[in-house]
Amino acid sequence: MEFTAQQIADFLGGDIQGNPSVTVSDFSKIEEGRPGTLSFLSNPKYNQFIYESKASVILVNKDFQAEKEIQSTLIRVDDAYQSLALLLTLVDQTKPKKTGISPLAFISPTAVIGENAYIAPFVYVGENVTIGKNVSLQAHCSIEDGTQLGENVILYSGVKIYYNCVIGNNCTLHSGSVIGSDGFGFAPTDDGSYKKIPQMGNVVLEDNVEIGSNSVVDRATLGSTIIRQGVKIDNLVQIAHNVEVGMNTVIAAQTGISGSTKLGRQCVLAGQVGLAGHLHIADGTIFGAQTGVPSSIKKPNQTLQGYPAVPIMTFQRASVVYKNLPELQKMIYSMQKKIEELENKMK
């Protein structure tokens, strides 16, 4: 489908600078802009590309100031990145949705399947499973006994959901993710071996949760591991048993959260963050990449980094000192030598 710059501006509530009649039918990155496509600029690091881009239409923030002539038609909006997200969502919603149940899928007679569901070949749906309306289950998904899926849930190929888990509405789980596997619970014995502790709880994903490929959310020992509404989890993330992740928290790749830790609302965990078990993390906490968190964070809305986690400004100052340690060591050795020489002269 083609849209004019004017139609796009009207939809976004933006202001046009250039030809309102130019049309676009696809998207492109600003550094690879092609005629007939729409691109966007929100990060100043990419400003240089806007002057050479061949994209027909470019979304920019209203406060963007051009340093030289731009050939493309600009649409000025409050937030170019959010506006792009709106357009991409609109296009995604226009794609045809598959429906129907493949004869190559196994579905228990006791399962309840909602309207307009799509169940691909080689999907397994266990006993007493409940699946809501407009659910899409791609090939090789496994939904074990007693699990509940809400409406508009998408499970991409190879997703595994263990028994008695609860998935809310509008959740998306990407390929290879596992929900409800056993928590890491083992009790030491007198002979030095470990005895497995049965994990009898489940996992609850509230509405609007998205989980990336090959991420794992373990079931609780007792009770529930809970991922609250609006949480977004990247690929390759480990969420241990009895963890609770607060509403609208985002977690980047290779992060690990140990058992029974509770995260507040709207936290941000960058890549490779590690949290010890049984912690409480205040609302609005931001952890920089590779931060190690051995103790609870009680003060909300802090940005922390390093191991152990410290306020970001403290970490940055310490990093400067760390970088200069070799020179500081030389200075100390030199001063020590001079002190020894003075002491010898005094003797």
Residues 6 or more apart from 169 whose CB is under 8 A from it? 132, 150, 151, 152, 153, 207, 208
Q: DSSP class of residue 69? A: -
Query: What 3-state class would DSSP assign to 245?
Result: strand
- In the residue annotation, 241 being an active-site residue is answered as yes
Spatial contact of 139 and 156, defined as CB atoms under 8 Å apart: no
C-alpha distances out from residue 247 to 2, 264, 279, Å:
38, 7, 17
- Concatenating the DSSP letter of every residue in 75-133 gives EEES-HHHHHHHHHHHHHHHSPPP-EE-TTSEE-TT-EE-TT-EE-TT-EE-TT-EE-T
Tokens of 300: 């909300």
For 170-181, give the DSSP string. Answer: T-EE-TT-EEEE
Edge to edge, the sheet with strand 280-281 lists 112-113, 130-131, 148-149, 166-167, 202-205, 224-227, 244-245, 262-263, 280-281
* Residues forming beta bridges with residue 101, ordered by sequence position: 119
Indicate which residue of 174, 241, 278, 280 is catalytic.
241
Q: Measured between alpha carbons, how far is 131 from 133 in angstroms, rounded to an integer?
A: 7
| Alpha-carbon span 112 to 5, nearest angstrom | 46
Q: What is the DSSP string of 246-272?
A: -TT-EE-TT-EE-TT-EE-TT-EE-TT
Can you tell me the distance from the alpha carbon of 300 to that of 308, in angstroms, rounded to the nearest whole number? 17
- Residues annotated as catalytic are 241
